[in-house]
Amino acid sequence: MTILDGKKLSHKIRENVKLEVQKLQKNNITPGLAVILVGSDPASAAYVNMKSKACKEAGIYSMVHEMPESISQENILEIIEMMNNNSNIDGILVQLPLPKHVDTTAILEAINPNKDVDGFHPYNVGRVVAGLDGFIPATPYGVMKLLEEYDINPKGKNVCIVGASNIVGKPMATLMLNANATVEICHIFTDDLKKHTLNADIICVGVGIVNLIKDDMVKDDVIIIDIGINRLESGKLTGDVDFNAVSQKCSYITPVPGGVGPMTIAMLLENTVTSAKNRPIVKG
Ligand code: GUN
């Protein structure tokens, strides 16, 4: 069994991002990321904090717009419009989930697709589904990079994705399909999850249920990508896979923490630098 070490690969990618930022700075461009955080959910605040710290370390300018839970949709749209028009900002990220009174689609659609470094705007979603260039959501993008690093090619493999969210499961399925895998997507209404996971060469799971994937649900030498992040009462972080049991049977597995999580941050930085490289040249 081999551990897919996301921590190690993310460091390598972040070092490369740093070099790319230095090159851009020679042309007087400092990549900029605007993060919008609404409300006081501790997990969201922690993610935003990690993202802005990572930006700083890479030399990317970041600004965080913190807004109270009660903020109106119009006020959020105003900030997005300001960031769309700010030539120092290359990426705009609205931390999800948003409060119930806010229409998430309307917010995501207001972001200039050229600054949509999360890849959640329907324009980028569509481009990626069509196999065209577009911003790829950081988590599934990080998974594909991790597989590539370990020479794992999904072509012709049976891939079972567990979880069908817009942020993880659906884009993960798209990238696997684009990589010529045979893809199944399981979700909360799937009857007999085990029937599907047992058939899989690669399982990608991200639903937030501790120990959802047990050793009797996987075949020998399966490749396990655990995208779940759950905090146990002890404070310890764990994924959606029964790591101790499943790691006895699989060929590769991502640990939690230290697997997919650090890759997400690294790919967000990479998307921001890509956006900065494509900054429109302003004449005059
Ligand atoms: N909430 C959970 N994951 C993500 C993410 O990758 N991006 C944003 N914007 N919000 C999230």
Question: pLDDT for 108-155, tens place per residue?
Answer: 999 999 999 999 999 999 999 999 999 999 999 999 999 999 999 999
Q: Which two tokens stand for residue 283?
A: 């004449």
C-alpha 27 – ligand 1 centre gap (Å): 31
Q: Mutate which of 36, 62, 96 to test ligand 1's pocket (most atoms within 8 Å of Cβ)?
A: 96
Q: How many beta carbons lie within 10 A of that of residue 74, not counting itself?
A: 7
Active site residues per annotation:
51, 95, 118
End-to-end alpha carbon distance in the chain: 58
Task: Please list the helix, strand and coil fractions of the chain in percent, rounded to the nearest 5, in that order.
Answer: 40, 15, 40
pLDDT class of 42 with cuts at 50, 70, 90? very high
What 238-243 contacts at long range (C-beta under 8 Å, 24+ apart), as own/partner pairs, is: 238/210, 239/205, 240/162, 240/205, 240/206, 240/207, 240/208, 240/209, 240/210, 240/211, 240/212, 240/213, 241/205, 241/211, 241/212, 241/213, 242/211, 242/213, 242/214, 242/215
pLDDT, position 46: 96
Is the CB–ligand 1 distance for residue 94 below 6 Å?
A: yes
pLDDT surpasses 70 at 282: no
d(CA 151, CA 61): 34
Is the CB–ligand 1 distance for residue 238 below 6 Å?
A: no
The three-class DSSP label of residue 209 is coil
Which residue is closest in CA terms to ligand 1's atom 8? 95
pLDDT class of 284 with cuts at 50, 70, 90? low
Q: Which two tokens stand for residue 279?
A: 């900054």
Domains of the chain by residue range: 26-121, 138-261
Q: Do domains 26-121 and 138-261 have the same CATH topology?
A: yes
Which residue is closest in CA terms to ligand 1's atom 7? 95
- pLDDT (mean) for 186-211: 98
Q: Between 3.40.50.450, 3.40.50.80, 3.40.50.10860, 3.40.980.10, what CATH number should domain 26-121 receive?
A: 3.40.50.10860
Instruction: Tell me how far CA of residue 157 lies from CA of 74, 202, 225, in angstroms.
Output: 46, 7, 14
pLDDT, position 283: 59
DSSP E strand stretches across 113-190: 158-162, 182-186
Q: What is the CATH number of domain 138-261?
A: 3.40.50.720
Is the CB–ligand 1 distance for residue 108 below 6 Å?
A: no
C-alpha 95 – ligand 1 centre gap (Å): 5
State CA 175 to chain mean position distance: 12
| 62-117 residue pLDDT tens | 999 999 999 999 999 999 999 999 999 999 999 999 999 999 999 999 999 999 99
